[in-house]
Amino acid sequence: MEIRLGLVVSEFNRDITYQMEQLAMEHAEFLGARVVRVMYVPGVFDMPLAVKHMASDPEVDAVVTIGCVIEGATKHDEVVVAQASRKIADLALEYDKPITLGISGPGMTRLEAHERVGYAKRAVEAAVKMVRRLKGEH
């Protein structure tokens, strides 16, 4: 069974999310999954609407979110990740479809963000595993 993935990628901190996106694509291919749609959004906070749109597509088996939220002078990074991740989890339940969190942060420096580009790989792996397990495969 071919697993079809959709990626929702944040353009904010694009130098990092570009690396994450490339790693996600490579890992999907390695796992035998295919990325059928990619949608870019301005930032992580903007992801839920794009995730909802993609989750409603019958051609997409699972959605992988890719983003990076770096700590600033205020607690803005914590608010962004908390709100986006909560809504993303709600959408997985609403659409009965795996939606995985490949978002690094909050509370990290730019250097730590570069060190955590592998979050994208983990999110792809989780999406593929969840699709297989929900369909009764191992």
Query: Which residue numbers are catalytic?
Result: 76
Residue 45 is classified by DSSP as G
128 annotated binding-site participant: no
Distances (CA, A) of 128 to 10, 45, 52, 116, 121: 21, 24, 19, 20, 11
46 annotated binding-site participant: yes
45 annotated binding-site participant: yes
44 annotated binding-site participant: yes
Rounded CA gap, 101 and 120, in Å?
8
68 annotated binding-site participant: yes
Structure tokens at 9: 């990628």
What are the binding residues? 12, 44-46, 68-70, 73-74, 101, 116
